[in-house]
Amino acid sequence: MAGHSQFKNIMHRKGAQDARRARQFARLIREITVAARHGLPDPASNPRLRAAVTAARQANMPKDTVDRAIKKATGAGAGDDYAEVRYEGYGPAGVAVIVEALTDNRNRTASDVRSAFSKHGGALGETNSVSFMFNRLGVIRYPAAVATADAMLEAAIEAGAENAESDDETHEVTCPIEDFFTVRDALEARFGAPESAKLEWRPTTLVTLDEDRAAGLLKLLDALDENDDVQNVYANFDIPEAVMQKLSA
């Protein structure tokens, strides 16, 4: 296992689920707000909003909460105006980190992100200082039960995807970002709404970490994850299974 999904698995085992759920809902509401404000308020006609609403449903967000977020975004005096910003830098052991945020105060968010990097052995860099080590891809995930691996791969390729990988729990389809909505809609027509569908940064190389360096990096990722403005964090690290077990014990 590698990358941010590994960090998420570790954090999930540590508890504090109520606080994490509240942060997750806050992030989803921000994404719904931005999507509704910059496009049509109807998910059927707004691909980004449809993806945000799907993510909210997967997180078991109440429907009335979703509806209120859309109405607030499109109503008179629509409230906070969030800007999309990306930060890039290096964590402990030279791990490349990309942080995506939605913020109503760029100065506050930049200061908080820079502080998190500094306190945990990293350094915030300039835009594009590490993104060249990642590919930007559309990623669509389905539960394994919706189709066989062969059927999902066939459907993905027909829809214009680059690849589909399957295991006992999940089908993961990847595609170029310019084909993301076309591929997602084709798969949704065939298999129903996906478990998740979004654009992600995927590292092209990984830094393997020992226990000490892994612990330091995870402290940085945890600090970023606790920031309400931060939507997503991506990093090019690999933690061996033996080290994972020690860290999550």
Give yes or no: residues 118 and 220 share one domain: yes
Alpha-carbon distance of 245 to 249, in angstroms, equals 6
pLDDT tens figures, 79-91: 567 889 999 999 9
Return the CATH number at 61.
1.10.10.200
User: Could you tell me if residue 25 is inside a domain?
Assistant: yes
Give yes or no: residues 227 and 128 share one domain: yes
Give yes or no: residues 114 and 213 share one domain: yes
Question: Which helix (H) or strand (E) segment is 8 a member of?
Answer: helix 4-13
Provide the token pair at 141. 């995930």
pLDDT given for residue 80 in this prediction: 67
User: Could you tell me if residue 6 is inside a domain?
Assistant: no
As a whole-number percent, the residues of the chain with pLDDT over 70 amount to 91
**pLDDT bracket for residue 130 (50, 70, 90):** very high
Question: Collapsing DSSP states into helix, strand and coil, what is residue 138?
Answer: strand
* Cα-based torsion angle of the residue sequence 64, 69, 74, 78 in order, rounded to the nearest 10 degrees: 130
CB burial of 50-81 (b: ≥16 within 10 Å; e: otherwise) equals bbbbbbbeeeebeeeebeebbebbeeeeeeee
Contact present, 236 and 36 (Cβ < 8 Å): no
pLDDT given for residue 4 in this prediction: 46
Instruction: Tell me the whole-structure pTM to 2 decimals.
Output: 0.84
Return the CATH number at 173.
3.30.70.980
pLDDT given for residue 18 in this prediction: 63
pLDDT tens figures, 157-210: 999 999 999 999 999 999 999 999 999 999 999 999 898 898 999 999 999 999
Q: What is the mean pLDDT of residues 64-77?
A: 82
Give yes or no: residues 117 and 233 share one domain: yes
Look at residue 151 and tell me whether its pLDDT is greater than 90: yes
Give yes or no: residues 121 and 244 share one domain: yes
List the domain range (segments joined by +) for residue 30.
Answer: 15-74
User: Could you tell me if residue 100 is inside a domain?
Assistant: yes
**pLDDT bracket for residue 6 (50, 70, 90):** very low
User: Could you tell me if residue 4 is inside a domain?
Assistant: no
pLDDT given for residue 124 in this prediction: 95
User: Could you tell me if residue 1 is inside a domain?
Assistant: no
pLDDT tens figures, 24-69: 888 999 999 999 988 888 988 888 898 899 889 888 999 999 999 8
pLDDT given for residue 71 in this prediction: 87
Q: How many domains does the chain have?
A: 3
User: Could you tell me if residue 3 is inside a domain?
Assistant: no
pLDDT given for residue 84 in this prediction: 92
- State the DSSP code for 220: H
List the one residue out of 14, 74, 16 whose CA is nearest residue 43: 74
pLDDT given for residue 1 in this prediction: 41
